[in-house]
A = this chain, B = another copy of it.
């Protein structure tokens, strides 16, 4: 079933999840600017259709590995938004009890294997999750989200070959936002990304990451292929990156015109809204209701995070091992 044939509930769920990500990120950006959040963070705003379009096909048993820009993947995979916000605030109620922060949000019980501070850290891990499914003869799949910059990390190439020869049920979702930090993709990535899969005989697809339905459909096929035991797929998903690389990045290597055009012309939420309202699958009131709900959800997450206690100092040295001495 292609995206445009989804049920009303499914469409609302997809929109809602994208909306949560957008509002979450915009809010984290604002809190960060006002100094209420420690450290810094990499925001996913603009890329929502990718995480949601892919994760739409996954159950809690399926696994994803993520990146430094992981909030969107976490939300799309079902991580608790309150716990995520508290984690980013460094609180004891955080999803990782404040020990991980933005770059290490994880919830294994939801199949979320962790954001990752190491570019290229995820691909081997996703292969491992897929290997578990294969060895235990389950039909779970694993998705490895990574950026266009990560395509040049050796681990990515190794993992793609491994997945292909072992026919692992893994999907390499390469989110191409045109940049690795402040460097344009064109400056550092030789050739076409899908060709790197083709060279291995791996299935691949190139999709517009602003279009939820395009991502949905391509991911559907990839996930089905993996579940059938037919091996990995690479999805090359082109998206905008709304903010700078990290929260404090002046982002002056893009012209203001380029940035405003991007936000104007490449907004997956706006595109979704116009597609579903034009096709009369949902109406504006439906979507506005979601927007309002989501706003509340994030407000309350921030409020709770702010009020939550810091982790106890005794936790500094716990959780290093299951059992040490």
Contacts and interface: CB of A to CB of B under 8 A. Distances in A.
Interface of A: 152-158, 160-161, 164-165, 187-192, 195-196, 198-202
A192 B187 contact: no
The 6 A-B pairs with the shortest beta carbon distances in the complex, nearest first, are A154-B154, A157-B157, A195-B199, A164-B190, A190-B200, A199-B199
Given A157-B157, A158-B157, A187 B199 contact: no
14 contacts: A153-B158, A156-B157, A157-B157, A161-B188, A161-B189, A164-B191, A165-B187, A165-B188, A190-B201, A191-B202, A192-B199, A195-B200, A196-B196, A196-B200
B196 A199 contact: yes
Contacts of A188: 161, 165
Contacts of A187: 165
A274 B154 CA distance: 43
A179 to B, nearest CB: 15
A153 B157 CA distance: 8
Contacts of A199: 191-192, 195-196, 198-199
Most buried by B among A153, A192, A200: A200
A185 to B, nearest CB: 11
A190 B192 CA distance: 18
Contact of A202 (B190, B200, B201): B190
Nearest to A160: B190
One complex includes copies of this chain to the number of 2
Contacts of A165: 187-190
Contacts of A198: 191, 195, 199
Contacts of A189: 161, 165
Given A156-B157, A192-B199, 11 more contacts: A153-B158, A154-B155, A157-B158, A165-B187, A165-B190, A190-B200, A190-B201, A191-B200, A195-B199, A196-B200, A198-B199
Contacts of A191: 164, 198-202
Contacts of A200: 190-191, 195-196
A133 B190 CA distance: 21
Nearest to A193: B199
Nearest to A159: B154
Nearest to A202: B190
A58 to B, nearest CB: 25
Contacts of A156: 154, 157
A169 to B, nearest CB: 16
A30 B200 CA distance: 40
A190 B191 CA distance: 19
Nearest to A158: B154
Contacts of A158: 152-154, 157
Contacts of A164: 190-191
Contacts of A152: 158, 161
A57 B164 CA distance: 37
A187 B162 CA distance: 10
A118 to B, nearest CB: 13
A160 B195 CA distance: 14
With a 10 A CB-CB cut-off, give which of A152, A155, A157, A160 has the most chain B CB atoms.
Answer: A157
